[in-house]
Amino acid sequence: MEEKKAFYVDSHVHLSHGLYNGDFPFHRWDGKGFVREENGRREALIDRMKEQGIRFCVEPAVEPESNEQLLALAERYPGYVLPAVGIHPTRTWSYVLFDEHGKQQPKRLAWKSRAQIAAYAENPRVVAIGETGLDFHQPRKEQHRLRQLAWFVWSLHLAHRKRLPVILHIREADWLALVVLRLMKPFLHGGVCHCFNGTPRAAELYTSLGLKLGIGAALLAGGEQGKRLRRVVRQTRLEDILPETDGPFQRPPCPEEESQKRWRKARNTSLILPAVVNRIAYLKGRSPEETARITGAAVMELFGVPRESFEE
């Protein structure tokens, strides 16, 4: 009996981001290592993702404007780009956009913008609320912690009203995020800690609340962060791990023969996803095909995607 080909799902990518506009250099996995290619384009990238067996991807919002952009992309690629709407914690006070000439445009986020985010959440294609959470890695005066906290709690309530999971961005704020999530546990409908980079103990606490862990290119890196994340993967149930890429961010490790400067200028893409899944499989003592199937099913269950729509 012929073995089914592994399929993948990217639980977190930003395909509508401006870094994918026009032509761009990008990273991909060729089965043996990471390579850099030139002259990528958004439409061609999505075609290659499909060819590589990536069945669908989830795209969360960042700035207010990205909500509209990703919903438009989801309309263009129905069932392939699954949208989540919300406000990233570092954008809850101010943020910067770039115009068509590359000039920076500073923006302020009004508290009354909640009404627009809630309106976006009415779109029937929306599968989650996010990104939302807490990010305390900036200098204290630039964090606007109360503002972040207010948006976080409001977003959790919105997710409850819509009976949707949440996509969490938690950075250097696990202690407070876990307090909030414990208090809100009766109102949670599942969720994922995107780009998880916390301690093994934090991982245990998040998963005990019924949340998944988003694991991406940081798993492939060296240093203490990579070692800690590999310990987290070893101790966590495979069903609680969601592979992601966070493209165009979270670059994979730079090959020795490649220039670091050139590597940093390229965009990360969902085309590195097999490498992430392969590393998870190695750490869990499973085959890549089985790992892709189990983690893919976990993504489908969380975001309400019917499995039968992806059966061969």
Enter the DSSP assignment of 269.
-
Q: Say if strands 94-98 and 81-85 run parallel, antiparallel, or are unpaired.
A: unpaired
Is the separation of the CB atoms in 17 and 40 below 8 Å?
Answer: no
Q: Which pLDDT value is given to residue 308? A: 66
CATH of the domain at 156: 3.20.20.140
Q: Which domain holds residue 59?
A: 8-304
| pLDDT at residue 274 in the model | 97
Number of domains making up the chain: 1
pTM of the predicted model, to two decimals?
A: 0.95
Domain contains 26: yes
In a domain, residue 311? The reply is no
Q: Is residue 54 part of a domain?
A: yes
pLDDT of amino acid 3: 47
Omega prior to 257 cis, within 30 of 0: no
Helix, strand, coil in percent for the chain, rounding step 5: 45, 20, 35
Cα 45 from Cα 81, distance rounded (Å): 13
For residue 310, the model assigns a pLDDT of 56
Q: Is 207 a domain residue?
A: yes
Supply the pLDDT for residue 141. Answer: 80
Instruction: Tell whether 33 is covered by a domain.
Output: yes
Q: What is the SS3 assignment for 111? A: helix
Kind of pairing between the strands at 8-10 and 24-29: unpaired
Residue 121, Cα to own-chain centre: how many angstroms?
Answer: 18
In a domain, residue 40? The reply is: yes
How high is the mean pLDDT in each 10-residue block of the chain (312 residues)?
Answer: 69 96 95 94 97 97 96 98 98 82 81 97 98 93 92 98 98 97 98 96 98 97 92 98 97 93 96 98 97 96 83 52
Q: Is residue 2 part of a domain?
A: no
**Phi and psi, residue 39, nearest 5°:** 60, 45
Among 17, 20, 140, 139, smallest CA distance to 88 is for 17
**Domain annotation covers residue 1:** no
